[in-house]
Amino acid sequence: MDASRARRRGPRLGLALLALACSQGEPDAPVPSSALRLGYFANVTHAPALIALDRGLLAEALGPDVALEPHAFNAGPEAVEALFSGALDATYIGPNPAINAFARSRGEAIRIVAGCTSGGAALVVAPSIASPEALRGRKLATPQLGNTQDVALRSWLKGQGLSATLEGAGDVAVVPQANAQTLETFRAGEIQGAWVPEPWASRLVLEAGATVLVDERSLWPDGRFVTTHLIVRTAFLHEHPELVERLLRAHLAAVDFANASPAEARALANAAIARVTGQAIAAPVLERAWGSLAFTVDPIAASLRKSAADATAVGLLDPVDLDGIYDLGPLDAILAAAGRPPVPR
C-alpha cells in the first residue's frame, strides 16, 4: 500500500475502530424489527390516542421489537392521503374522512377496527338567535366543506326547511373556515354561529358569548354518535395482524383509563395538546368540553351509516355501499378474552 492510500484510509479506519470500541462498551439495545406509523390529532376528541401515547400504553403494548412513529395531523384529508401513499399504517380519524377514503378506494384501502369517541359537537349561535327560523339570512361556519360537522349542519338545516348551497348561498350561508378563525369571525360579528367540535364549541360559549342552539347528542338515539374512530390500512391489517392486535390492546386500555380516571386523563390529554400545538386548553373550557364526550371502543356503526346517507342527501357524497368498512374481529377477540361483550354491528 502506498503512503497516500494509507493516509486516506487511516482516519476512516481509526473512526471505525473507535466506534467498535464504544459499541462494545455499551449494553445491547433491542433493534426494532418492524414499525407502526400512527396518525392522530392534537385535540380533545382524540383523547384516548393522546393518553395511549403519553402514558406509554402504546409503547408498552408494542414492545421493544416495534418502532412507534406517531404523526400529528390537522385534518382528516391529510391523514387519508398519508394512508393512501403508504406513509401511515393507522390513524384516529372522524367518520366522514373514513367514509370518503373507503368510497374513493372502492372499499379497498381502509378498515375501521374500533370506536374511540362519541359526542362533542354543537351548533352554537349568537344569543339573539333562539330558533331555526331565526337563522334565515344568517352566516354560519363549519370546519371544512364536507367534513363531519359540515355534513351535520347541512343535513340539520335541510330538515328544518332551510337551504344552504355548497357555494355558500341559500337561506343560510355556510362558510367553511378553520376553527381558530371561526372564533375570531364570530367575535367580530362576521358570522352568527358555527357547527363545530370540541373544544371549539366550548370556547365560543365561554370566550365569545355564544349559546347552544343544537347539542348534536340530542339528534341521535341515546345521544350516541361517532366522532372519532380508529382505522388501519387494509394491507397493513392483513400483513401485520399481530401489530393491529397490540394497537387495539393499548387503545382499549386508554379508553378504560379515560373513563375510570377523568381528571388525570384530562390533564394528560391537555399536556399532550400543549406539547404539539404550543398552547394548552384553558381549564374551564376543557372541563366543559370533556363533559360532552363519551369514550368507547364501540364504533357506533348505525351513526356512521346515517352520516353517509346525510352526506349523500346534501350533495357531498355519491351513494356508497359501506359493507366491509368494519373489521371488528380483532377487537371482539380482545374483548372476549377480557370477559366483555362484543361491540354491536
Partners of 36 in the β-ladder = 68
Structure confidence by residue, pLDDT tens digits, 141-192: 999 898 889 999 999 999 999 999 999 999 999 999 999 999 999 999 999 9
Residues 92 and 176 in one domain: no
Return d(Cα 290, Cα 58) in angstroms, integer: 22
Return d(Cα 309, Cα 195) in angstroms, integer: 19
Residues 277 and 314 in one domain: yes
Residues 233 and 315 in one domain: yes
- Average pLDDT over every residue of 198-218: 97
Place of cell 381502509: 110
Residues 115 and 230 in one domain: yes
Residues 211 and 229 in one domain: no
| pLDDT beyond 60 at 34 | yes
Residue 228: left (phi > 0), alpha (psi -120 to 50), or beta?
Answer: beta
Return d(Cα 262, Cα 106) in angstroms, integer: 39
Of 117, 121, 94, residue with least CA distance to 213: 121
* 302's grid cell: 348505525
| pLDDT beyond 80 at 14 | no
Between 241-260 and 262-277, two packed helices, what is the crossing angle to 10 degrees? 120
Q: What angle do CA 173, 151, 321 make, to 5 degrees?
A: 145
The total of other beta-carbon atoms located within 10 Å of residue 279's CB is: 8
- pLDDT reported for residue 147: 87
Tell me, what CATH number does 238's domain have?
Answer: 3.40.190.10
Q: Which of 222, 243, 268 is the last residue of a domain?
A: 222
Return d(Cα 251, Cα 253) in angstroms, integer: 5
Please tell me the total count of domains within the chain: 2
Q: What angle do CA 300, 305, 309 make, to 5 degrees?
A: 150
More confident residue, 5 or 49: 49
Q: Which of 205, 222, 239 is the last residue of a domain?
A: 222
| pLDDT beyond 60 at 30 | no
Amino acid at 77: P
- Average pLDDT over every residue of 300-329: 95
Rg of the chain in Å (alpha carbons): 24
How high is the mean pLDDT of the chain? 91
Q: Which domain holds residue 166?
A: 121-222
Structure confidence by residue, pLDDT tens digits, 216-263: 999 999 999 999 999 999 999 999 999 999 999 999 999 999 999 999
Residues 328 and 231 in one domain: yes
Residue 345: inside a domain: no
- pLDDT reported for residue 65: 94
Residue 51: inside a domain: yes
Return d(Cα 27, Cα 30) in angstroms, integer: 10
| pLDDT beyond 50 at 12 | no
pLDDT band, residue 31 (cuts 50/70/90): low
Return the half-sphere exposure (C-beta side, CA atoms, 13 A cut-off) of residue 54: 23
Residues 126 and 114 in one domain: no
pLDDT band, residue 344 (cuts 50/70/90): confident
Q: Where are the alpha helices (DSSP H) in the chain?
A: 3-24, 47-54, 57-62, 76-85, 95-104, 148-159, 179-187, 200-208, 234-239, 241-260, 262-277, 283-290, 301-313, 329-337
